[in-house]
Amino acid sequence: MEPEGVYVDATAGLGGHSSAILERLSEKGRLYCFEWNEDTYEYLKERFKNEKRVKLYNKSFVELGQVLKTEGVLADGILFDLGLSSYLIEGSGRGFTFQKNEPLDMRMSLNAELTAEFVLNRYTFKELAEVFKRGEVPKAEKFASFICKKRKHKPLSTTKDLVEAVKEFYHSTKKDLLAVVFQSIRIEVNKELENLETALKEAVECLKTGGRLVVISFHSLEDRIVKRFLKECEKIKPLTKKPIVPTKEEVRKNPRARSAKMRVGEKL
């Protein structure tokens, strides 16, 4: 890292990575933080209220390029950590986890147009099947058909309703199965894959020559996009032939990191 450099935390969350970056910056360094969720943005404002090196934006990383161009800066490094923040899972009450009974919302920001409830109850069979297929949900078309029949009798409104539907159709409530079903809907609600593809292109344009793009993904759908982008983008040289994965010690300290894959590229 360049102590006097310009860095971007595209997914600031609760500020863990941002704080680590700030520890390595001098007083002349600058950090631009993007956080789409309203509650965690307010938390970051309080956490960094006395930090003059930080600029915070309550925006999705898909707007990163527009903001940095307006600011007139190029970055030495841009970081994307695509994992859900612990707040969204445990404290938002928006239905991100199958381990609690909450409304089927799943919006990272209240500015998002869709909710999980709308997707499950109002999407056509074809649209819903596509959501499940893209999310690699087993028996996607048959499960979509099952949901369409079920919602005629009673709309799905809570995470408990969705868990019961999974149990009824698959005769299973295995965590991996529930996780992929919930994930597929969350991805649709927040347009995560489309936004990632757009943001990666924008990020490259906002890097200095020699600047680094670092992306930490947590499932194969994201990793595929990142891997392909680093391979095909003519303005980036991949620095990681294979993704960097956490050590056993890191997983022991933070079990959520077990599926993390980090890929790095350098601007040419």
Residue 255 has pLDDT above 90, yes or no: no
Tell me what pLDDT residue 256 has: 81
pTM listed for this prediction:
0.94
Residue 257 has pLDDT above 90, yes or no: no
Asked if 74 contacts 66 with a C-beta cutoff of 8 angstroms, the reply is: no
Mean pLDDT score of the chain, rounded to an integer?
A: 96
CA atoms of 18 and 254, how far apart (whole Å): 18
Residue 251 pLDDT level (bands cut at 50, 70, 90): confident
Residues 203-244 have pLDDT tens digits of 999 999 999 999 999 999 999 999 999 999 999 999 999 999
Opening angle at CA 90, ends 148 and 215, nearest 5: 85
- For 181-186, what is the mean pLDDT? 98
Residue 121 has pLDDT above 90, yes or no: yes
* Helix, strand, coil share of the chain (percent; to 5): 50, 15, 35
Task: Return the percentage of the chain with pLDDT > 90, whole number.
Answer: 90
Residues 58-102 have pLDDT tens digits of 999 999 999 999 999 999 999 999 998 888 988 899 999 999 999
Tell me what pLDDT residue 253 has: 86
C-alpha torsion 88→84→124→122, nearest 10: 10
Length of the chain measured in residues = 268
Tell me what pLDDT residue 254 has: 84
The encoded tokens of residue 13 equal 């969350």
Domains along the chain with CATH numbers: 6-87+193-267 (3.40.50.150), 113-190 (1.10.150.170)
**Other beta carbons less than 10 A from residue 37's beta carbon:** 23
